[in-house]
Amino acid sequence: MIHIDEEVSRAIDALPTKVNSFGYDAWGFSPKKAKLVYTLIRRALWSYFRPKIQGIENLPAGRVLIVPNHSGQLPLDAALIALACLLRAEPPRLVRSMVERWFPKLPLINEVLWRGGAVLGDPINCRNLLLDEQAILVFPEGAKGSGKVWFDRYQLQKFGRGFMRLALATQSPIVPCAVVGGEESIVSLYDWKGLAKLLGFPYAPIHPLLPLLGPFAYLPLPVRFHITFGKPMMFEGPHDDDDAVIDEKVAKVKYEVKRLIDEGLAQRKGLFT
């Protein structure tokens, strides 16, 4: 039996979660099961990647969209951001990660995701959560961000417009966020699109140590993650404005995320420190 982390337990108990008689909220989050999920994340990932958290005080109360860069082949960045917000924010915040539609197809993964607070990346889900004054984690680069190859590391891919339209529709602040370290955790030299299509995945990373190490090549390196939360950004205007107008607003967020990434890269002294 796994012993639940006491700090995780206190943080989840402090959340203003509304659950039904079965112990779940309207989106499938279970405080009881989330304690196990976040305990495992803390023991397996937090101690391994030793994330350095900066700017967590910039996270406002109430509804908010957290918008980071995406990287690392696996959603390690999402798990570490969520745990940082739970354990380091005052008061503790439950981050509702918007999950790609393909990811829950992996065996047993969907149960862990929903019980831990993640939700399907659907605009209606996101809008309703924001109106419920919750914190949303959305990666505007999508799978193109997480599946980047080594030669494109820390080069932001195109940001979608959906998060901006939701922010405008719900009058929600946007907190830009930068993750440094993820690009080096699992290296990909090539995206084998034919294999990805066969498996039903958005990408199929080819590691430089294949076939020498076999599947062990995909074990993440113990690089140190640096996660920085920027100052909240507010935008005004109709959510159904022309694409060109929305793109201008999106570009401002993208610029700020890139600025935070560049600062993080300049400040770190090495991959493992």
Instruction: Kindly state whether residue 231 falls inside one of the protein's structural domains.
Output: yes
Instruction: Kindly state whether residue 59 falls inside one of the protein's structural domains.
Output: yes
Question: Over pLDDT 90: what percentage of the chain?
Answer: 75
Q: pLDDT for 103-119, tens place per residue?
A: 656 656 667 777 888 88
Q: Give me the mean pLDDT over the 67-96 stretch.
A: 94
Instruction: Kindly state whether residue 13 falls inside one of the protein's structural domains.
Output: no
Is residue 101 predicted with pLDDT exceeding 80?
Answer: no
CA distances from 259 to 160, 177, 212, 263 (A): 19, 10, 38, 6
Where does 140-267 show beta strands of DSSP type E?
174-180, 190-191, 205-206, 226-229
Q: Which range marks the domain in which residue 209 is found? A: 50-267
Instruction: Kindly state whether residue 166 falls inside one of the protein's structural domains.
Output: yes
Instruction: Kindly state whether residue 6 falls inside one of the protein's structural domains.
Output: no
Question: Over pLDDT 70: what percentage of the chain?
Answer: 96
Instruction: Kindly state whether residue 19 falls inside one of the protein's structural domains.
Output: no
- CATH number for the domain spanning 122: value is 3.40.1130
Q: pLDDT for 224-252, tens place per residue?
A: 999 999 999 999 999 999 999 999 999 99
In the prediction, which pLDDT does 143 show? Answer: 84
Separation of alpha carbons 226 and 142, rounded Å: 20
Residue 52, both tokens: 């350095």
Instruction: Kindly state whether residue 232 falls inside one of the protein's structural domains.
Output: yes
List the 119-120 sheet strands across, edge first: 52-54, 226-229, 174-180, 64-68, 135-137, 95-99, 119-120
Pick the residue with more confidence: 166 or 195?
Answer: 166
Q: Is the CB of residue 204 less than 8 Å from the CB of residue 262? A: no
Instruction: Kindly state whether residue 43 falls inside one of the protein's structural domains.
Output: no
In the prediction, which pLDDT does 119 show? Answer: 86
Task: State how many domains the chain has.
Answer: 1
Q: pLDDT for 206-215, tens place per residue?
A: 999 998 889 8
Single out the residue of 195, 172, 160, 188 nearest to residue 126, CA to CA: 172
Q: pLDDT for 27-49, tens place per residue?
A: 889 999 999 999 999 999 999 99
In the prediction, which pLDDT does 100 show? Answer: 74
